[in-house]
Structure 1
Amino acid sequence: MDILQKIVQQKSREIALKKSLVPPRYLEHSPLFERQGNSLSQALQKSGSGIIAEFKRRSPSRPKINQHSPVQEVAAGYESAGACGMSVLTDVHFFGGSLEDLLIARSTTRFPLLRKEFIIDEYQILEAKAHGADVILLIAAILETRQIKDFTELAGSLGLEILLEVHDEAELKRAFIPGIQMVGVNNRNLKTFEVSLETSKRIAPLIPEAVIKVSESGISRPEAIKDLRKAGFRGFLIGEHFMAADEPGIKAMEFIKAMEP
């Protein structure tokens, strides 16, 4: 069993428990449920940096990334640095995140927030809306095409945008459907955890022109972004490079300044 299968198995158990404790109707009565979302796809089109900065405490490949930086300080730092959006890991078991992190980030900032989660159930989309997300991540590797269609329709009805994550050409061909605003190419092989930016460059020409292209994982140099832009990417999701620093917001600011001509 690979790491993705383990995560999905754990997620199924968590969702079943959550549904028994907090029925969907309670999520739909959240004060944030009527909030109008901020468009990450539009922000990326206008952004000078294209940076989606991530809040992540740990990961299966790195058990200790940053256990000391409060989410509110990181969120405020990212926004001040010039990032055009923020990704918040909400998985508890494998990444040390929580929905509370998303809620706190929402109360601290105005820029678009992505709930980065292993979404396998419509319940999680309601959770995202109720906790202030503007965008949800759909991972092609763990979803069937029909699920992606249903989840995209539900998200659209709630005013949430979609970032579809793919790892190879076959996933893109199977998973992409109209209504998806952004496609993220994960440069990390989730089975081997090897990282290569060539993955983004290889898949970029296959992504429809009208869709915002986002490169994810393994970006640690401003020069890499310049190279990826030539391949048509407008968004760049960076997590560990910022979060491994003592002050992620300052690290993000230095990175974004280094991108300037």
Structure 2
Amino acid sequence: MNILEKIFADKKKEVALKKSLIPASQLEQSVLFQRDCPSLSTGLKESQSGIIAEHKRRSPSKSIINHGLNVDEVAQGYQDAGACGMSVLTDGKYFGGSLDDLLIARASVHIPLLRKEFIFDPYQIIEAKAYGADVILLIAAILDQQQIKTLSETAKSIGLEVLLEVHNEEELQKSIMPSIDLLGVNNRNLKNFEVSLDTSKSLAKLIPDEFVKVSESGISSTAAIKELQPYGFKGFLIGENFMKTDQPGESAKSFISELL
């Protein structure tokens, strides 16, 4: 069992427990559930930098990254830096995140928020909207084509955008459908954690132009972004590079200013 399969198995138990405690109908009563969501895909198309900055305390591959920062300060720092959006990890066991992180970020900034989570159940999408997300992540490696269709259409029906993440051509081919807004290529091999920008480059030509292309993982320099932009990438998800510093907002600011 690889790490992704292990996380997914634990996530199924977690979601089953949540559904027994808080029904979806209760989540739909949230004040945030009724709000109109800003568009991350539009923001990326209009941006020169395309940075989606991430809040991540730890990861299975890197252990602790940064446990000492307040989410609101990180969010405000990213917004002030000019990030197009913010990704918030909400998995607790493996990444040290929570839905409260999403809620705090939503109260702190107006830029689009991506709920980065292992989503397989429509309940998690309703939960995402109720806690202030504007975009959800779907990971093709843990979903079949019908699940991707059902989940992405559920998201669209309540006003959320969908970032679909792929690692290879097989995952990409089953994921191309009208209910997806952004197609993300994860440069990290989830079986051995090796990272290569060649993954983004090789898949770029297979992604239809109607989708906003996002490159994820292993982007630690402006040179990497400039290398990927000619392949049509408009979005760049960066987490550890900013979060491993004492001031992620300032790190993001200097990184973005170097790009412009």
State TM-score, norm by structure 1: 0.99
2:39 alignment partner AA: S
**Counterpart mapping for 1:168-187 below 5 A:** 168-187=168-187
Give, in whole Å, the separation in 1 of the partners of 2:47 and 2:105: 20
- SS of the residue corresponding to residue 163 of structure 2 reads strand
Shift of 1:43: 0.4
- SS of the residue corresponding to residue 234 of structure 1 reads strand
- SS of the residue corresponding to residue 95 of structure 1 reads coil
Q: Which residue number in structure 2 is paired with residue 26 of structure 1? A: 26
Shift of 1:158: 0.4
Q: Which residue number in structure 1 is paired with residue 82 of structure 2? A: 82
Give, in whole Å, the separation in 1 of the partners of 2:203 and 2:165: 12
**Counterpart mapping for 1:216-235 below 5 A:** 216-235=216-235
Q: Report the number of matched residues.
A: 260
- SS of the residue corresponding to residue 206 of structure 1 reads coil
Q: Which residue number in structure 1 is paired with residue 251 of structure 2? A: 251
- SS of the residue corresponding to residue 111 of structure 2 reads coil
Shift of 1:255: 0.5
Give, in whole Å, the separation in 2 of the partners of 1:79 and 1:49: 13
2:41 alignment partner AA: S
**Counterpart mapping for 1:188-207 below 5 A:** 188-207=188-207
**Counterpart mapping for 1:1-261 below 5 A:** 1-260=1-260
Shift of 1:152: 1.0
- SS of the residue corresponding to residue 25 of structure 1 reads helix
1:34 alignment partner AA: Q
Shift of 1:16: 0.7
Shift of 1:162: 0.3
Give, in whole Å, the separation in 2 of the partners of 1:90 and 1:68: 17
Shift of 1:176: 1.9
- SS of the residue corresponding to residue 219 of structure 2 reads coil
2:87 alignment partner AA: S
2:203 alignment partner AA: I
- SS of the residue corresponding to residue 104 of structure 1 reads helix
2:171 alignment partner AA: E
1:109 alignment partner AA: V
- Deviation digits for residues 226-250 of structure 1, max 9, x if unmatched? 1100110000000000000011000
Q: What fraction of aligned residue pairs are identical, expressed as a percent? A: 62
Give, in whole Å, the separation in 2 of the partners of 1:258 and 1:214: 20
Give, in whole Å, the separation in 2 of the partners of 1:212 and 1:206: 13
Shift of 1:258: 1.1
- Deviation digits for residues 130-168 of structure 1, max 9, x if unmatched? 001000000000001101100111101100000000000
Give, in whole Å, the separation in 2 of the partners of 1:132 and 1:23: 17
Shift of 1:21: 0.6
State TM-score, norm by structure 2: 0.99
Give, in whole Å, the separation in 2 of the partners of 1:207 and 1:180: 12
Shift of 1:40: 0.3
1:71 alignment partner AA: V
Shift of 1:223: 1.0
Unaligned segments of structure 1, at least 5 residues: none
Segments of 4+ in structure 1 off by > 4 A? none
Unaligned segments of structure 2, at least 5 residues: none
- SS of the residue corresponding to residue 236 of structure 1 reads strand
Shift of 1:8: 0.6
Shift of 1:50: 0.2
User: Cα RMSD (Å) of the superposition?
Assistant: 0.6
- SS of the residue corresponding to residue 233 of structure 2 reads coil
